[in-house]
Amino acid sequence: YHQLNAYLQEHQVSPRKLIADARVTFIGTTDHPLDTLEWHKRLAEDSTIDTVVAPTFRPDEAFIEHRNFNLFMKRLEEVTGVAVRDFASFVEALGQRVSYFAQHGCRASDISFTAISYEEATLEELDEIL
């Protein structure tokens, strides 16, 4: 531990130096759909870093089975200004967040599924579920 810390100090090793020395051209981060992406904005404006750092959209809490779903829905309304009262407004609010992420370089989504299940439903049924 002490030897490693001494080496890091002596050679002025930093995350940015490691990234530059390894010639990393792209880093994708995992980000919550309601994140401000403030650090992505700062990195994009920083001319001293050549690596592209882009967010990925991680909407796990947007799935009704998630334990934080109700809190997520409340915060989604606050962040987007969309009153989520039915499935269409839910899609509208999530769509706003997808667009926001895309404006900040996001081109991928990272979703944790243990299984994928599908059942057809009408919009009315989806409204009732939501």
* Rounded Cα–Cα distance for residues 37 and 21 (Å): 26
3-state DSSP assignment of residue 31: strand
CATH number of 2-129, picked from 3.40.50.300, 3.30.930.10, 3.20.20.140, 3.40.50.800: 3.20.20.140
Whether the full predicted model's pTM is greater than 0.75, yes or no, is yes
Measured distance CA(104)–CA(22) in Å, rounded? 24
C-alpha 33/C-alpha 99 separation (Å) is 11
pLDDT tens per residue across span 44-99: 999 999 999 999 999 999 999 899 999 999 999 999 999 999 999 999 999 999 99
Please state the domain extents for the chain: 2-129
Tell me the C-alpha distance between 90 and 6, whole Å.
52
Phi (first) and psi of residue 21, to 5 degrees: -65, -30
Q: Give the three-state DSSP class for 9.
A: helix
